[in-house]
Structure 1
Amino acid sequence: MNKKTFWKKITQKQNPKLYAAKDSKLIPSLRTLDLIGLGTGMVVGTAIFTLPGIVAAEYTGPAVPLAFIIGAIGAGLSALAYAEMASVLPFAGSAFSWISVLFGEFFGWIAGWALLAEYFISVAFVASGWSAYMQGFLKSMGIYLPVALSGGFNPNTGQIFDALAAFAILLVTVLLSKGVKQVARIENGIVMLKLIVIIIFIAVGATAIHPDNYVPFIPAHKAGTHFGGLTGILAGASQIFIAYVGFDAIAANTAETINPQKTMPKGLLGTLFLGTGFFVLVSLVLVGMFKYSIYAGNAEPAAFALRKAGHYFTANLLSLVAIIGIFSALIGILLASSRLIYSFGRDGLLSSKLGKINTKHVPKNALWSISLGALILASFFPFDFLATLVSAGTLVAFIFVSIGIYALRKREGIDLPEAKFKMPGYPLLPAISALVSIIIFWNLNIDAKLLMLVWFIIGIVIYFVYGMHHSNLNKK
C-alpha cells in the first residue's frame, strides 16, 4: 500500500446518513429532564461525595472550590462545543462518531479510544467509591467485610479484591439490560433524593464551620510537590475533572433523545450549572468544618465530617443516600460507555457482534463487554489510583470536539444540517476551549500521562492490525 492510498484509507469520512440509518434501531425516549438527570447523576455523583476532601488534602488546601470552578470553566467551554456537535450530528458514540464524520475514521477512533479509557476507569472509580461508602455504613452498624474482600489489591493492607464494587457493576448492568426508558425514571428519582440530602449536608455542615479552617485560603506552594499555590489549584482541577465526565455521557445518548437538536444543548448546559453550584457549596462547607489535612486518603469525607462533628443521624442518612445515589452515576456511565462500544462494533472497528441491538433495543453485547472489563479494574485497583487516571481520556475527547467545531462550521448548511444551537464566540472560543483542556491535561500527574500514552499505543496497534482491515468504510 503506497502512502497516498494509506492516507486516503485512514482519513475516509463516515457518511452521516449511514449513521442515522444504523442508529434508527435505538428508540428515542429521553427528554431534557432525563438528560439532566443522567448528567447530574454523574456530575453530582461519586465525585461530590469523595473527591473534595482528597483534593483539598493533597493539592489545594481550602481553595478546593477554585479547582472546581476552573474545572467548570474548561468543561463549560467544551459543553458549548458538545451542544453544537450534538445538534448537527445526533448519533450514538458522541466524539467518536462526530470526529469520524469530520476528520476521518482513524481520528475518530483515537477520540473514541480516549473516551473508552475514561469510561472503563470511570465505571471502576464510581463502583470503588460506592464500595467505600457502603463499607462505612456497614461499619457504623458493627458489620465488617473480610480485609481481603474490602478493596483493590494492596499488599500493605492485605486487600485483594473489592467484592462490593464488583457487585455494584453487575447489578447496574442487569438493570440497564432491561431498557433505557425504565432506567431513566429510576435515575430521575434517585437524583432528586440525592440533591435533597446534599442540601441537608450543606445546611447542617454550615453550622459546624470554623472560619480559621479557611486561613490561609490558598496555602503557599511546597517546592517539589503539587500542593499549594496556583500549581496546587491547577493540579486539583485536573484531578476533579472526573466530575464533568457527565457531559460526554449525555452526548453519547443523542440517538436515544427526543428532538436532540433542542433537547441536547439544554441537557448539557443545565447539568453544568447545577453540578458546579453544588460542588462549590459542598467543598466550601467541607473544608470549613475541619482542617483540610484531616481528609487525606478518605473516600467518604462528607459522612466522615458529619460524624466527627456529632451529626450521626445526618451522616448515616448521607451515607445511605450516597449508597443509592452513586448507583445513578454508574447507570449514566455504563449507559454511555455501552453506546460507545456499540458504535465501534457498528463501524466494524471492533467485532461486529458489539454492534448488535436486541429486541429490547439495547446493545447487550456492548453493555456486558464494558461491564466485565470495568469490573476487573474496580475489583483489583485501589480507589485513589483510579481517581488519578480517570480525567485524562475526558480531556483528550474535549480537545478533539473543541477543534472539531472549525470543521463542522464549514459543512453546516451544505452537506450537514444547520445547527439549532451554535457555540458562541466563534472562531476564538473553540480555540480557547481546546487550550484550557490542554493546560488541565498537562497538569495531570506523570502516572496518568504515561498510562494514557500506553493506552494510545495499544489503540493504534488495534486499529492498524484489526480495525482498518475490518472497517465497514474500508470494506465498502
Structure 2
Amino acid sequence: MKKLLARLLLREDPATYQLKDGSLAPTLTTLDLIGLGTGMVVGTAIFTLPGIVAAEHTGPAVPLAFIVAAVGAGLSALAYAETSSVLPFAGSAFSWMNVLFGEFFGWIAGWALLAEYFISVAFVASGWSAYMQGFLASLGVKLPVALTGGFNPHQGSYLDLFAALAILLVGWLVSHGVHQVSRIENAIVAIKLLVIILFVAVGVTALHPQNYTPFIPPHRPGTTFGGLSGIMAGASQIFIAYVGFDAIAANTAETKNPQKTMPRGLIGTLVLGTGFFIAVSLVLVGMFPYHRYANNAEPAAWALRHAGHPLVANLLSVVALVGIFSALIAILLASSRLIYAFGRDGLLPKTLGHIDANHVPNHALWTITVLAMILGSVFPFTFLATLVSAGTLVAFIFVSLGIYALRKREGVDLPEASFKMPGYPVLTALSALFSAVIFWNLDVDAKLLMVGWFVIGLLVYFGYGIRHSVLVKRKK
C-alpha cells in the first residue's frame, strides 16, 4: 500500500517538461492569446446561451448570471495567470498538478479537462449547426430532419451532419500549425466583435421596457427557475463561456515570453468577454419576452428577424457561422495539447505524444477530432450545454488550490512568479469555494455523469497509465 501511495504522489521535474515540450514552437503573442481566448469565450455561448438561460433559469436577470459566473471565473483566471507564468508547459492543469501534487492528481485534473474539451467541441459544433440550419432555412433550404440534430427518435433526428463537418474542417485547419491558425483566429474574432456591436446597436432600437419586469422572477418551487437559485443555476450553465481560460493556458508552451504574455492574455480575455456578454444578454431579453427563447439555439438572429431586421439577422448568422469556428479552433488546439501531454507522459499511448514537421501533435489532434465528431453529431445541443461546465469547474478548483503548493516553491526550486494572485491566501480559498458552489448547483445529470467519467478515468489510470508512466519508470 505504501509503495502504491508513493507512486501516486510522484512529482514531475519541471525541467523534464521544458525538455519534452521543446519541439513545440513558441510563436503566440498577447494579441494571439486574447484572440484565442475571446474566440472561445465570445464564441457559441454569446450567440446561444443568453436566450436558453433566460428561458430556463433567470428570466430577464440573465446578465446577473453572467456577472456571477464572471466573478468566479475571474478568481480562477488570477490563479491560472500565476501558475502559467511559473510553469509554462503544455497540458495546463494536468501538467501543473503533476509538478505540484503528483501524477495521480495531475491525471484527475487532466481527465476532468478532457471531459470539458470533448463536450465543448461537440457543444460548439452543435451551435454552429443550429445557426447554419437557421440561415439556410431563411433562404428556403432545409436538410432532411434525420440529419438536423443529435439522436432523438421522437423528433425524427438521428445525426447532426453539419456539426460533424464543422469539426472535421477545423481539425484540418489546426493541423497546419498554430502560427497560421492564430492569424485566421484573430481576423475572425475582430469581425465577430464588430457584428456583436452591430447587434447591440440595432437591438437597442427594438427594446420593450415591460420585458424587463420583473427583472428577477420569483422562484418556482421544485424547479431551477427564478430567484437566487435560478441565477445560480444559470451561472452554472454559463460557465461554459469561460472554458477559454484553460484553452489559453493549454498553449503556454507555444507562447512567447509566457511569464508576462499569459497573465495579460487571461485577464484581457475575461474583461473583454464579460463586457460583451452583459451587453448582448441585456439587449436580447429586452427585445422579446424571455420565454420566447426556450430551446432556441440561435436566439440573437431569431430576435433580429422577428424585430424586422432580416438583413442584420442574416449578417449576424453569417458571422456567427464563421465566428463559432474561432471557438472550435481554440478548443481543438487546447484539447490536442492535453492529449499530447497524456501521451508525452505515457499515461495514454506514446504515439499521442508525437509532434510532426509543422510542430503539431497531429496524432493527438486527429484522435480528438474523430471522437468529437461522433459526440457532436449524436448528442443534442441542450444536453451538451448542461454537461460541459462540470469539467471546467473541477479544473478551476484544482488550479486554485494549487496556488498554496506553488507559493511554497516559488524562489526555491521554481522561478518567482512574474504575476501573483492578489489577496493570497483568502482569494485563493474563495476561488476554489466559488467553483465548488457553482458545481453543486449543476444539473443532477451533469454531476452523475461526471462521477461516471471519473470512474472510467480511474480504470484507465490503474489499468494502463500507472504501468506505462514515464515518470514511474524513471523513478524506479
TM-score (norm. length: structure 1):
0.99
Partner residue in 2 for 1:449 = 447
1:113-169 CA-to-partner distances (Å, cap 9, x unmatched) read: 000000000000000000000000000110000111111011111100000000000
Partner residue in 1 for 2:160 = 162
Partner residue in 1 for 2:354 = 356
Which of 414, 421, 435 pairs up with 1:423?
Answer: 421
Q: How do 1:48-447 and structure 2 match up within 5 A?
A: 48-447=46-445
Partner residue in 2 for 1:467 = 465
Query: Cα distance, 1:94 vs. partner?
Result: 0.2
1:399-438 CA-to-partner distances (Å, cap 9, x unmatched) read: 0000000000000000000000000001111100000000
User: Take 1:206 and 1:95, find their aligned partners in 2: how far apart are those partners?
Assistant: 41
Runs of 4+ in 1 over 6 A off after TM superposition: none
Query: Cα distance, 1:471 vs. partner?
Result: 0.2
1:226-268 CA-to-partner distances (Å, cap 9, x unmatched) read: 0000000000000010000000000000000000000000000
Partner residue in 2 for 1:21 = 19
Percent identity of equivalent pairs = 74
User: Take 2:454 and 2:431, find their aligned partners in 1: how far apart are those partners?
Assistant: 22
**1:245 alignment partner, SS class:** helix
Query: Cα distance, 1:470 vs. partner?
Result: 0.3
User: Take 1:38 and 1:28, find their aligned partners in 2: how far apart are those partners?
Assistant: 15
Query: Cα distance, 1:285 vs. partner?
Result: 0.1
Structure 1: unaligned runs, 5 residues or longer: none
User: Take 1:450 and 1:286, find their aligned partners in 2: how far apart are those partners?
Assistant: 32
Query: Cα distance, 1:456 vs. partner?
Result: 0.3
1:159-184 CA-to-partner distances (Å, cap 9, x unmatched) read: 00000000000000001111010000
Query: Cα distance, 1:301 vs. partner?
Result: 0.1
**1:178 alignment partner, SS class:** coil
Partner residue in 2 for 1:42 = 40
TM-score (norm. length: structure 2):
0.99
Paired residues, number: 474
- 1:36 maps to a residue whose letter is I
Structure 2: unaligned runs, 5 residues or longer: none
User: Take 1:377 and 1:73, find their aligned partners in 2: how far apart are those partners?
Assistant: 31
User: Take 1:169 and 1:424, find their aligned partners in 2: how far apart are those partners?
Assistant: 39
User: Take 2:291 and 2:133, find their aligned partners in 1: how far apart are those partners?
Assistant: 22
